Amino acid sequence: MRTVSFKLAAFLFVLTVTIPVDFAIPANRNFEYKFDNEGKELILHKWGDEFAHGYETLECYTVIFDKLKNRWVYASKGEDGILYPSLFTVGEVDPETLKIEKHIRFSSDVVKARKKLINSKYKNSNTSKRK
């Protein structure tokens, strides 16, 4: 019995350090995250997985925290497929009036690049530990 447990543990260890991370766990949309946005309470849901993730309003508009302005703003997608902060602060403008798109996401090329980067970091961290 002990031999089987040890072999199973050894197998699982080898499996975790040699196989690149190629799966992702989706964000749980059932949780609400509350943030202060210039004195106003902002409730958001997470979207995505380990490789590409972010936040959305309850009305499904993708938002980003603009560190320079220290507030949450609506997201816009650049030509490179990356999400950037827009000029519009959440709660100060009506996104429908501005025709802001709902559910904005990173392009598939950006997601693939992020996945490749994370897998290479994971692989490098495991090989450096074995030396």
pLDDT tens for each residue of 104-120? 999 999 999 988 988 88
Q: CA 61, 67, 70: angle at the middle one, nearest 5?
A: 80
Dist. CA 127–CA 131, nearest whole Å: 7
pLDDT of residue 15: 44
Please give the average per-residue pLDDT across 28-39, as a whole number: 79
Dist. CA 113–CA 121, nearest whole Å: 12
Buried b (16+ CB within 10 A) or exposed e, 11-50: eeeeeeeeeeeeeeeebeeeeeeeeebeeeebebbbbbee
What are the residues facing 72 on neighbouring strands? Answer: 65
Dist. CA 56–CA 74, nearest whole Å: 9
Answer whether residue 28 shows pLDDT above 80: no
pLDDT band with cut points at 50, 70 and 90 for residue 51: confident
Kind and range of the H or E element at 11? helix 2-18
- The top-scoring range by mean pLDDT among 2-11, 19-28, 31-40, 83-92 is 83-92
Query: What pTM value is reported for the model?
Result: 0.70
